[in-house]
Chains A and B, each alone.
Chain A
Amino acid sequence: MPGLTYDQLQKKAKDLAPEEREILDSPYTISNEAYAALRWVLHDVGGQVDIPAPYLEKGEEPWEMNTYLTCECLGWRGAWNSEERRRRENDLGGTQYFGLPYYARWITVATKSLVDKGYITVDELGAKIDEIRERYEKGKQ
């Protein structure tokens, strides 16, 4: 449609297919359809609709390889197993699952698992992170 700005085109498209959204804010009741939508396991992706994406190559960066190794060592010595890892990644929910890079998911759930099971405390983790950050800062000088 010549002569129309992008915004006008957008509005035209919206008028043709009006979009209505219900605000979700812990409602007292929901419809069965909404409940079905909320229960949908969006991480189980086989067969879901998608568009092609480029097939990019990306070898592991050092922190990514280390994440793999750390997660495997935790499995080797019985702190968890890879099925727990996969399940915990799923349970991050769609926003984090699809929002985080592949190995960021791994290390996020490894940390949660260790805290949940009492291997480490949140305080210990925080202190260790501060210590490492300080080390990095010193290394920069």
Chain B
Amino acid sequence: MSGSHRHDGHDGHDGHDGHPTFPVASQVSEFEILELAVRELAIEKGIFSAEDHRRFAEWADGVGPHGGSKLVAKAWNDPGFKRRLLENGTEACKEVGIDWLKPTGTGTPSDYTFFYVLENTPQVHNVIVCTLCSCYPRPVLGMSPDWYRTPSYRRRMVRRPREVLAEFGLHLPPEVEVRVHDSNQKSRFMVMAMRPEGTEGWSDEQLEQIVTRDTMIGVALPKAGRTSDEDVQAKAAWR
């Protein structure tokens, strides 16, 4: 997924990320009515304002994996920034214009917390999950992909990470240690992959193109020429 583009649920079934997409329901759902009822009552009662909702929507529209891509690309080109990013992720984000205190001044109710960037090495590969629900570093990666929230991913990543990674097409040699980081209310993570070969002399902007969402979750590796997660093939299975 590139830039701030987000599905609106009606843009077809091709799945521009390469993964198959869900079919979209055509009728007005009970949940849609319930959400409207709760929102309107909350506004009438003065719990929050329509303006609050609008401001939050604006913030949510602006976040996406492009934020994280900027962090990784800059760190690959700038050792000083890389050090600062690994030492204090939340603080270093400000250098690329990501402020974890937005949009409320104290962050989002779900996300304002400690942010850690996990550096891959030739010996260690990192990957993130949230076994309790779906914690995800929204300010730097946007909204989580649906599969990240599924019980299947959450159940299996902590116990059989190599198998799950293989289903994403990522086969790691046995000598590479896999570290799974379980996100929670206090800690959010993002993976910084190793800079791939063939990218010597690339600008930040060039590098950002290959730092895709899946490489920052840890289910794919960046490489020169790979600018989307389309090569990740969903494994045929039943649920």
Contact = CB atoms under 8 A, between A and B. Distances in A.
Contact of B235 (A52, A73, A79, A102): A52
A69 B18 CA distance: 27
Nearest to B159: A47
B176 interface: no
Interface stretch (B4-12, B77-85, B92-100, B199-207): B4-12
Given A56-B147, A59-B7, A73 B37 contact: no
B149 A60 contact: no
Interface in B4-33: 6-11, 15, 17-22, 24, 28-29, 31-33
Interface stretch (B52-60, B67-75, B114-122, B187-195): B52-60
B interface majority secondary structure:
loop
B48 A73 contact: yes
B20 A69 contact: no
Given A60-B7, A77-B52, A132-B36, A50 B151 contact: yes
Contact of B22 (A56, A120, A128): A56
Contacts of A63: 29, 31-32, 35
Nearest to B24: A61
A110 B39 CA distance: 10
Place the interface of chain A in its size category: 35 or more
B146 interface: yes
Interface in B150-194: 150-156, 158-159, 163-164, 167-168, 182, 185
A65 interface: yes
Contacts of A60: 6-9, 143
25 contacts: A45-B154, A46-B158, A50-B151, A50-B152, A53-B150, A53-B237, A58-B22, A59-B8, A60-B7, A61-B8, A61-B9, A61-B24, A70-B39, A73-B47, A75-B110, A76-B56, A77-B47, A82-B110, A102-B146, A107-B34, A108-B34, A111-B34, A114-B42, A128-B40, A136-B28
Interface of B: 6-11, 15, 17-22, 24, 28-29, 31-42, 45, 47-48, 52-53, 56-57, 60, 104, 108-110, 129, 131-134, 143, 145-147, 149-156, 158-159, 163-164, 167-168, 182, 185, 232, 234-239
